[in-house]
Amino acid sequence: MSRMNNRVLLVGSIPGTNAADAMAVCGRDLSEYLDCVPDGETGTRRIWINFLAASTYHGHPLLETINRPTPIDLKHPDEWRTSSETWAPRGYSDHWQFRVKPGADSVRFENLGYANAAKQSYPDFCDLRDAGVLAKDARFMVAIPLIESAIRPFITNQDDFEIMWLAYAQALKREVMDLSDCIPSNDLVVQWDICMEVVAIDGQDQGKAIFPWEPSGDPHERFVESLTLAAACVPRNALMGLHLCYGDLGHRHIIEPRNLAIATGMANCAASVVKRDIDYIHMPVPRDRNDDAYFEPLRDLNVGDTKLYLGLIHTTGGEATSLGLLETAKRHAAGFGVATECGFGRRPAESMPELLRIHRLVADSL
């Protein structure tokens, strides 16, 4: 039986001025529906892997920044862009890129920033749980990009890809160890964010702005290597989940999923190769895919007791969109929970009441 038994998963980022604010907003409306709560990935983490680009890769002594996002118009209406920050891309064609400096055959990252952020927000999580805003048995969730997701969009050639792969893999091990030192394992959930791996295995990535080149080798083998390494770092008493994704920058996918066949195949593979429990797997459901063909691959899902969460909650189209997707999904799967397709920290804070209301409504309709 999965150790994740509740009906709602919060994928990662949440609008909020800080971690305490983001967690409190979700706790007040959803605490009874949640097994775990992320800290909202507020601040520089809200633009997902661009946090790594801006805070870890940019300025590294052995990396050269060869492209960076266009400076942001401070009058832009989107809340997440109305600050003095100049690190956030406007879209997939406006992205960070780096190269390893000539003569460097290795790179080292002292830390990736996720454990440091968790050290700051975990006490707020504990305070909210003690105050009853979060459920007394809730766990603290930390989401970390898997290796290819963390590096491929930022690198332009195979040699640099191999150097960065090793550097990130080594740093990832240290990061999870550091995380485990500051958060008790029975209070921790580690979620691996898996996007570029999904797109590469799907095979529609060629020619996309974010992918001007393609690494050598089998993308499925890279996924297995990366996931087995990452999973081995997570303490047994901690929970571990996989967030399978097609991207969400500017609320747009990198490519459109044809159906859930790729996600189902990756989930089955993960369940067969990982030597520890995978407590949950999250899969995306676009808002316009209220058709049986999209969900039919779930008939082949074989992940044992792992909890499935389907990212079918959307605000576009109101509650009818999400409830329609739910009814179609029910014809192809049972016992699943629900979530949004991706983190929603880039949404305006004023949209939260309606979004959380739809979470409750859909969860109550399971």
Domain boundaries, the chain: 19-48+101-364
If we measure between CA atoms, which residue out of 60, 221, 217 comes closest to residue 154? 60
* Category of 247 on φ-ψ map: left (φ > 0), alpha (ψ -120 to 50) or beta: left
**Taking a C-beta distance cutoff of 8 angstroms, is the pair 285, 311 a contact?**
yes
Q: What is the mean pLDDT of residues 43-62?
A: 88
pLDDT value at 206 more than 60:
no
Would you tell me the crossing angle of helices 19-30 and 352-364 to the nearest 10 degrees?
Answer: 40
Lowest mean pLDDT among 155-169, 210-224, 283-297: 210-224
The strand pairing partners of 284, in sequence order, are 311
Query: What is this structure's pTM?
Result: 0.93
CATH topology of domain 19-48+101-364: TIM Barrel (3.20.20)
pLDDT confidence tier of residue 82, bands split at 50, 70 and 90: very low
Tokens linked to 285: 């459901």
Rounded mean pLDDT of 83-96?
A: 65
Whole-angstrom distance, CA of residue 97 vs CA of residue 213: 12
pLDDT band at 95 (very low <50, low <70, confident <90, very high): confident
Statement: residue 173 has pLDDT above 60:
yes
Cα 166 from Cα 2, distance rounded (Å): 32
Query: Of 1-10, 71-80, 168-177, 342-351, which gets the smallest average pLDDT?
Result: 71-80
pLDDT of 81 strictly over 60: no
Residue closest to 326 by CA, chosen among 338, 318, 335: 338
- Distance separating alpha carbons of residues 42 and 290, to the nearest angstrom: 32
Banded model confidence at residue 351, pLDDT cuts 50, 70, 90: confident
pLDDT in tens, 309-318: 999 999 888 8
Among the ranges given (5-19, 123-137, 266-280), the one the predictor scored with the smallest mean pLDDT:
5-19
- The pLDDT score that the predictor gives to residue 230 is 97
pLDDT of the residue at 78: 44
- Confidence at residue 209, expressed as pLDDT on a 0 to 100 scale: 57
Q: What is the pLDDT of residue 71?
A: 64
Q: What is the mean pLDDT of residues 155-183?
A: 95
Please report the pLDDT score of residue 47 as a whole number.
77
Binned at pLDDT 50, 70 and 90, residue 74 comes out as very low
Residue 54 predicted with pLDDT over 90: no
H or E element: which one contains 28?
Answer: helix 19-30
Residue 167, pLDDT > 60, answer yes
Average pLDDT over residues 37-57: 88
Q: How confident is the model at residue 220 (pLDDT cuts 50, 70, 90)?
A: very high
Distance, in Å, from the CA atom of 154 to the CA atom of 138, rounded to the nearest integer, reads: 35
